[in-house]
Structure formats: structure tokens, C-alpha cells
């Protein structure tokens, strides 16, 4: 199993290489300090798995690099290894095409298992994330997701534009509406869905597949 490590901290890369290389059938074939270098290494070395950090201040970050890699090398599995125990990062990583998401605080055995899982074509989420997702799913089932069903087509359209980062003015100009009308629709849909912030709206839009930028 060939593995490339992408992390901006040399100590982290060295530690991971020492921990994994030549063990459990894993061969570290390359390392990179940012997303740009990581993409180049993957395209040149064609590993089975990329262990990708999210926060890299220089060059491309992990999310951007993951999305580009899935376009250029869709057969390579990307496992996000990060300190961020955060649902928004988790959903954005999945949206970018990552096959797995694991915390840097995870035990060695869990990390090895996650690498093996994504290399085999399976998905992997760390246990507490899986539990949260299951709880969210059960809660939606309990509520019947009735709120989503009562959104008008216009409200769904404005939800999508808002989640993609467009301002009320930009949405109004694109849909040939007044800014006041857009604000009213947005307030109504937020109330119907029980959402209170833009991050919650983005997360909802991701779950519903409303962030297609084509």
C-alpha cells in the first residue's frame, strides 16, 4: 500500500513516517508540505492513499487540494488527518471528495485501520463523528424532515445561492428580484428549517446536494 503524507509540519510528517513506514503493509513513498506540492507528488507517484492535513497556511489548503486531486486522480483515496473535531470541516471534507476523516489525537491502531479502510475502497469516520451523524439522521427521521418539504422552489433556490457565498444584492440581481424580497425569502426558509446561522445553512445545503457549482 503506497502512501503520501501532506502536512505543513515537518515534525508531524517525520513522526507519521516513523510510525507507519514499512509496517502494516504501508510504504511511505512521498511527503509534501502544502497542497500544491501534495498534488504534484500524488500525480507523479500514484499512491493508494493520501494522508492529508486540512490547515496548511502556505499554498493550497487540504480541502482545496483534496477537491483537485479527486478531479485529477479519482482512484487515489484521500484520508483527512486533522486536529479539527468540527462538523463543518467534516462535511466540507466529504463534499470535497475525501474518503475518510480522522483526528490527529487518534490512537495508532485507529489510524492504521482508517488507512486500510480507505485503501480498500471503504469510507472511514472517527467514532464520535459517526455517532453524531447517526444522531442527526435519527433526529431527521423522527421529525420526518417535514420542514424541508414545505420550502418553495424559490426558497430552495435562494438557499443554494446563499450557501455558495453570494450576497443578498448579488442574488437579487441574478434572480431579478428586489433585495427586500430576497431577505424575506431567506428569513422564511431559515425559520422553516430551524437554522440560526450561515454555517448551519451551509451544512444543510451540503447534505441536500445544493452546492453544485457547475
CA distance 58 to 48: 25
Q: What is the pLDDT of residue 164?
A: 80
Q: What is the pLDDT of residue 59?
A: 78
Q: What is the pLDDT of residue 5?
A: 97
| 145-207 is classed CATH 1.10.10.10 | yes
Residues of the chain with pLDDT under 50: 144, 146, 213-214
Which residues are CB-neighbours of 175 under 8 A, at least 6 positions away? 157, 158, 161, 182
For 70, 134, 177, 193, the CA distances from 64, given in Å and listed in that order, are 10, 27, 33, 29
Under CATH, domain 2-132 is a member of which superfamily?
A: Response regulator (3.40.50.2300)
Q: What is the pLDDT of residue 58?
A: 80
Q: What is the pLDDT of residue 131?
A: 66
Q: What is the pLDDT of residue 73?
A: 94
Can you give the residue ranges of every domain in the chain? 2-132, 145-207
State the residue for C-alpha cell 500514484.
46
CA distance 4 to 49: 7
Q: What is the pLDDT of residue 35?
A: 92
CA distance 131 to 129: 5
Residue 192, H or E segment: helix 179-193
CA distance 52 to 54: 6
Q: What is the pLDDT of residue 142?
A: 53
Long-range contacts of 14-23 (CB under 8 A, 24+ apart): 16/51, 16/81, 19/108, 19/111, 20/111, 20/112, 20/115, 23/112
Q: What is the pLDDT of residue 34?
A: 93
For 16, 95, 203, the CA distances from 53, given in Å and listed in that order, are 12, 16, 21
Q: What is the pLDDT of residue 212?
A: 58
Q: What is the pLDDT of residue 136?
A: 63
Amino acid at each position: 500500500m503506497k502512501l503520501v503524507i501532506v502536512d505543513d509540519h515537518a515534525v508531524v510528517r517525520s513522526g507519521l513516517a516513523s510510525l507507519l513506514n514499512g509496517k502494516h503493509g504501508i510504504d511511505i513513498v512521498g511527503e509534501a508540505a502544502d497542497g500544491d506540492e501534495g498534488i504534484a507528488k500524488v500525480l507523479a507517484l500514484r499512491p493508494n492513499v493520501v494522508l492529508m492535513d486540512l490547515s496548511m497556511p502556505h499554498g493550497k489548503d487540504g480541502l482545496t487540494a483534496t477537491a483537485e486531486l479527486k478531479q485529477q486522480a479519482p482512484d487515489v483515496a484521500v484520508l483527512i488527518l486533522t486536529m479539527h473535531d468540527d462538523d463543518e470541516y467534516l462535511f466540507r471534507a466529504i463534499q470535497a471528495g475525501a474518503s475518510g476523516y480522522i483526528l490527529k489525537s487518534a490512537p495508532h491502531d485507529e489510524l492504521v485501520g482508517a488507512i486500510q479502510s480507505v485503501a480498500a475502497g471503504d469510507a472511514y469516520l472517527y467514532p464520535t463523528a459517526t455517532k453524531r451523524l447517526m444522531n442527526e439522521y435519527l433526529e431527521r427521521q423522527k421529525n420526518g424532515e417535514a420542514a424541508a418539504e414545505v420550502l418553495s422552489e424559490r426558497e430552495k433556490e435562494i438557499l443554494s445561492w446563499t450557501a455558495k457565498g453570494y450576497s443578498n444584492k448579488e442574488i437579487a440581481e441574478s434572480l431579478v428580484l428586489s433585495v427586500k424580497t430576497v431577505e424575506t425569502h431567506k428569513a422564511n426558509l431559515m425559520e422553516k428549517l430551524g437554522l440560526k446561522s450561515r454555517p448551519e445553512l451551509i451544512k444543510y445545503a451540503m447534505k441536500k446536494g445544493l452546492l453544485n457549482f457547475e
